[in-house]
Amino acid sequence: MNLSLQTATLAAAALLACGGTSGTDTETHTTTTALTTTGTPTTTADATTTSDATTTDTGTGPDPTTVTTTATDSTDTTSTTGAAITCADLPLCEDFEDSPEGAPPDPAVWTVAAPNCMGTGKLAVAGDQAHSGARSLRVDGGGGYCDHIFIANTAAITGLGDQIYGRFYLRLTDALGQGHVTFLTLKDSADGGKDLRMGGQSTILMYNRESDDATLPALSPAGIAMSAAPAPGQWTCIEFLIDEAAGHITTWVDDVEVAGLRVDGEPTPDLDQQWLNKPDWKPQLEDIKFGWESYAGQSMVLHFDDLALAGARIGCD
């Protein structure tokens, strides 16, 4: 790619960044309602689940194919070697098996949060889908901003050090659309209390920084091609490492690192160059919220299961 073309691509990416389909991506989100969770979860290990590492993405268009990998197994030294991590030993590990169907998840661990306003979004522990056991969290997320709904926990993430590893299973009923949506948010007290968000836009997984609307990857064709698109109707294992001290992000989908979802020290065109326009970004994460927030109209029925946080990589099984 010659330089002028690259510049044009980057300009296009900047224009595309967030809410591009409607411009309704509100920036009024403020802090969540009081989150008063205490204690640690007591869920038990879901030891018999199997890794669905063979997930294939059928690709609904020319854009994102599957998990574009930059296999970095050689650097994957944080994984345990053989010894399965016991769920009960983790700072947060939620399989939803101990909560009745139709109810919110354990109120000792999770607060139901609908920041700013409430609409049609709802959530409950449900038995219609499960990654482990017989239950998961079902979210019926509406298509407007106020239709958002989340579960939130503060105790686990604030008790971790700078290296925050997360793992969760996500099942989307429909493919991610073109418009911007969020299914995971993390309040960042070092960024004005705004959220670090994980969700989708341009049909692929992406991060969005609420404070300045930066996206990871940049939503250029090259950036989009370097991310991944969860196949609808099946469970996808998503893992992340957020290094608060370094301001770095690493992301794995079904055990494979996704090149488009990496922030490192090196600004990479189409990937993390836009993100690093705020070079001093070093998050201090105050909570973790799973749910649905939509800025351009897409509604979604989605399920979460086997949510976990730890100071070391957790893995998909």
Nearer residue to Ca ion within complex by CB, 191 or 306: 306
Nearer residue to Ca ion within complex by CB, 115 or 260: 260
Beta bridge partners of 123: 139
Residue 217, preceding bond cis, omega within 30 degrees?
A: yes
CA distances from 71 to 250, 255, 256, 257, 260 (A): 12, 10, 7, 6, 13
- Which tokens go with 317? 């099984």
In whole angstroms, the minimum distance from the beta carbon of 44 to Ca ion comes to 11
First to last CA, the chain: 41
In whole angstroms, the minimum distance from the beta carbon of 306 to Ca ion comes to 6
CA–CA distance, 133 with 136 (Å, rounded to integer):
8
In whole angstroms, the minimum distance from the beta carbon of 226 to Ca ion comes to 11
Contact between 76 and Ca ion by CB under 5 A: the answer reads no
Q: Which of residues 83-102 bind Ca ion (CB under 5 A)?
A: 95-96
In whole angstroms, the minimum distance from the beta carbon of 168 to Ca ion comes to 11
- Give backbone dihedrals phi and psi of 196, rounded to 5 degrees, phi first: -90, 125
By Cβ distance, which residue is nearest to Ca ion? 268
Nearer residue to Ca ion within complex by CB, 49 or 111: 49
Residue of 268, 294, 298, 299 that binds Ca ion (CB under 5 A): 268
- Which tokens go with 151? 């579960």
* Closest to 63 measured CA to CA, from 205, 197, 232, 272: 205
Residue of 41, 121, 133, 247 that binds Ca ion (CB under 5 A): 133
Residue labelled with tokens 């670090």: 196
In whole angstroms, the minimum distance from the beta carbon of 95 to Ca ion comes to 4
Contact between 52 and Ca ion by CB under 5 A: the answer reads no
In whole angstroms, the minimum distance from the beta carbon of 263 to Ca ion comes to 7
Contact between 251 and Ca ion by CB under 5 A: the answer reads no
Q: Which of residues 171-210 bind Ca ion (CB under 5 A)?
A: none
Strand-strand pairing, 163-172 and 235-243? antiparallel
Nearer residue to Ca ion within complex by CB, 96 or 252: 96
In whole angstroms, the minimum distance from the beta carbon of 94 to Ca ion comes to 8
CA–CA distance, 34 with 140 (Å, rounded to integer):
22
In whole angstroms, the minimum distance from the beta carbon of 155 to Ca ion comes to 21
- Which tokens go with 282? 């070093």
Residue of 149, 151, 305, 309 that binds Ca ion (CB under 5 A): 305
- Which tokens go with 310? 């730890």
Residue of 266, 277, 279, 312 that binds Ca ion (CB under 5 A): 266
Contact between 257 and Ca ion by CB under 5 A: the answer reads no
Q: Which stretch binds Ca ion (CB under 5 A): 112-120, 129-137, 280-288, 294-302?
A: 129-137
- List, in order, residues 6 or more apart from 89 with CB less than 8 Å away: none
- List, in order, residues 6 or more apart from 227 with CB less than 8 Å away: 64, 68, 204, 205, 206, 217, 258, 260, 261
| Residues of this chain that bind Ca ion (CB under 5 A) | 95-96, 130, 132-133, 135, 264, 266, 268, 272, 305
